[in-house]
A and B are shown apart, each in its own frame.
Chain A
Amino acid sequence: MDEPELILAAKHGDLAAFNTLVLAYQTIVFNTALRILGDDDLAADASQETFISAFRALNSYRGGSFRAWLLRTVTNACYDELRRKQRRPTTPLEPGTDEGDEVENPRWLADPNASPEDQMDQAELEHAIQHCLDDLPTDFKAVVVLADIQGLDYSEVSVIVKKPLGTIKSRLARARMRMRECLQSFRELLPAAFRLENERGR
C-alpha cells in the first residue's frame, strides 16, 4: 500500500495501516521534537502524543503533505511543552563532575557503526548545535530545525508554522546568523571534519 492508501485505511480505523505510517515518520518526528525541546524524554513523550492525536484527528487531514501535517502537530506539541516548562521550570537531573560540569549523556555515543573517534566528533557537534539551538527564541528554533536540520523547503516550513514565506525567509536568516555567532564560541571544540567548508550554491 502506498501512503494515500494507508492514510485512507487509517481514516477508516485501520490501526495497522496507521502504524505503518508511524514507522515511516517516527524518526523525523522524534528528531524534530528533540531539537526543539533539547531533551530525550520530553521529545519521546511529544512524539508519542503527536501520533496519538494525529490518529484521533485523522479525519481533519484534508490531503497535502502528510509529513508537513505530522510535523505541524509535533511542533505544536513542542510549543505547548516549552510553555509548560516556562511556567514550571525544573532542574535537570544530569550527572555532573565535581566541578559542576555536566557529564555527557552516554546515549549520544550509541551509534554502533561509527568509530570511537567519529562518535566523539558527532557528540561534540551535536552538543554544540543543541546548546546554540536552546538559546534561540522558539519561533526561530522551529524554523531552523525544520529548514536546516530536517531539510524541508520553505513552502513546507510555511505550512507547518503557519507563517508566510517572507516571514520564514527572514526568521531563517536571523536564526542562521545567531547560530553562527553561537557556534563560533565552539569553533575550537568542533572536530576538523566539521570545520568550515565551502559548499557555495549547494
Chain B
Amino acid sequence: MTTPSFNDLVNLSASLDGQLSSTELSRLESRIEQNAPFAAALGDLQQTRLLLRRTPARRVPRNFTLNLAMAGLRPPLPRLVPVFSWASVTAMLLFLFTMGANFLGSLSFGAAAPRMVSAPMNSEAYGVGGGPPATVAPASDNTQAIPTEQNLAVQSPEPTPLSESRPLPPEVTPVPKQTVEPVRIISYLFLGIALVLIAAALLIGWTNERAFRRRSGAKNEH
C-alpha cells in the first residue's frame, strides 16, 4: 500500500479526462486495484470534477452585442468623395481667386479715382486786390479777429473772371469701367460655383451617413 505521489495524482486526474495512453491507463488501473489510497484519491478527484461540471451557468445580464460607437465604425466614404476632394480644392482656389480679384479690384479703383488737384496758392490766383493770407492781420489782433464787413471785404477778394487770372482746375479723367466689371462678374461666378460645390459635398456626406446608420440599425435589429 503506497500513497500516491504528485505525479500519480496528475495521472489519476488526467485519466478522468481520457488524457492517458492505453498503456499508461492499464498500468494506472493495476495500481488502483492494488492500492486503496489510489482508489480513494481517484474517487475524490472524480467527485470534485463532477461537482465543478455541475456548476450552474449564469444567464448573461445583458446582450454584449456591439453598436457602431463601440465598434469604432465610421460610415464608408461615398463614391463621389474623390470627385469632391478635387472639387473642394477647386472651390478653395476659386474662392482665393475671388478674394484676390476683389482686392486687386479695390486697388485699381483707388488708382483710377479722380483726385482733387489743389489750386496754386500764389497771389495771382486771387486776382487783383486779392491777397494771400499773409496780408491778413494776425489773429492775435483783436480788432482784426472780429469779422466785420470791412474785414470780410478785405479778406474775400472780389470775383474776377476765370478767363483772366484763375487757372482752370485740372479735368477729372473718368475711370474706364470696362476693366472692373468683368473681374467682378467672374469673381461672383466663381464664388457661386464654390458655394454650390460645398453645399453638394455636405449634402452627399449627410445622406451617406444617414443611409449607413439606417442600414446598420436594420442589420443589428435581427
Contact = CB atoms under 8 A, between A and B. Distances in A.
A15 B71 contact: yes
A151 B47 contact: no
Contact of A15 (B19, B43, B50, B220): B220
B17 interface: yes
Contacts, number: 140
Interface string A158-181: 000000010001101110110110
B27 interface: no
A93 interface: no
A48 interface: yes
B58 A151 contact: no
B183 interface: no
B57 A197 contact: no
Nearest to B16: A202
Report the interface size class on chain B: 35 or more
Dominant secondary structure at the A interface: helix
A179 B66 CA distance: 36
B103 to A, nearest CB: 48
Interface in A9-47: 13-16, 18-19, 22-23, 26-27, 29-31, 34-35, 40, 44, 47
B23 interface: no
Contact of B55 (A29, A35, A111, A198): A35
A69 interface: no
A143 B53 CA distance: 13
Contacts of B65: 19, 22-23, 51
Contacts of A198: 43, 46-47
B58 A56 contact: no
Given A15-B73, A15-B220, A29 B48 contact: no
Nearest to A200: B46
B10 A180 contact: no
Contact of A173 (B13, B53, B70): B13
Contact of A199 (B50, B58, B216): B50
Interface in A138-192: 144, 147-149, 151, 153-154, 165, 169-170, 172-174, 176-177, 179-180, 183, 190
Given A111-B59, A173-B14, A198-B46, 5 more contacts: A31-B58, A126-B56, A148-B52, A169-B13, A200-B42
Interface of B: 6, 9-10, 12-14, 16-17, 19, 42-66, 68, 70-73, 216, 219-220, 222
